[in-house]
Amino acid sequence: MLCVSSCEKPSHKRHIYETIPDAVTDVDGNHYDAVRIGDQVWMKQNLRTTRYADGTEIPQSTFSSSNTPLAEIKPYRWAPNNMDINVQKFGWLYNWRAVIRDSIGSDLNPSGIQGICPDGWHVPGDAEWTQLTDYVSSDQKMRCWPSADFSIAKSLSAQTDWNPAFDKCDVGNDLSRNNATGFSALPAGNAEFTNQFVNMFDWAYFWTSSYSSNAGAYVRMIQSDYEGVNNITKHISSGLSVRCVKD
Q: Is the pLDDT of residue 3 over 60?
A: no
Band of pLDDT at residue 184, cut at 50, 70 and 90:
very high
Identity (one letter) of the amino acid at 76? Y
HSE-CB of 177 using CA atoms within 13 angstroms: 16
Instruction: Give the start-to-end residue ranges of the domains of the chain.
Output: 12-246
Tell me the C-alpha to C-alpha distance, in Å, between residue 199 and each of 56, 61, 121, 162, 208.
30, 18, 28, 11, 19
pLDDT value at residue 11 = 38
% of residues, the chain, pLDDT over 90? 84
pLDDT, tens digit (0-9, with 9 covering 90-100), for 47-87: 999 999 999 999 997 666 666 777 788 999 999 999 999 99
Q: Please tell me the distance from the alpha carbon of residue 203 to that of residue 174, in angstroms, as a whole number.
A: 16
What confidence tier does 2 reach under pLDDT thresholds 50, 70, 90? very low
Query: What Rg do the C-alpha atoms of the chain give, in angstroms?
Result: 19
**Tens digit of pLDDT for each residue in 150-174?**
999 999 999 999 999 999 999 999 9
Tell me which of 61 and 245 has the higher pLDDT: 245
The residue among 107, 75, 112 whose CA lies nearest residue 93 is: 75
Q: pLDDT tens, 194-216? A: 778 999 999 999 999 999 988 89
Cis peptide before 110 (omega within 30 of 0): yes
Give residue 1's pLDDT: 39
Q: What is the pLDDT of residues 103-150, one digit of tens each?
A: 999 999 999 999 999 999 999 999 999 999 999 999 999 999 998 999
3-class secondary structure, 128: helix
* Cα–Cα nearest to 115, from 128, 106, 103, 125: 103
CA terminus-to-terminus distance, the chain: 48
Please tell me the predicted confidence (pLDDT) of residue 61. 76
pLDDT score, position 14:
79
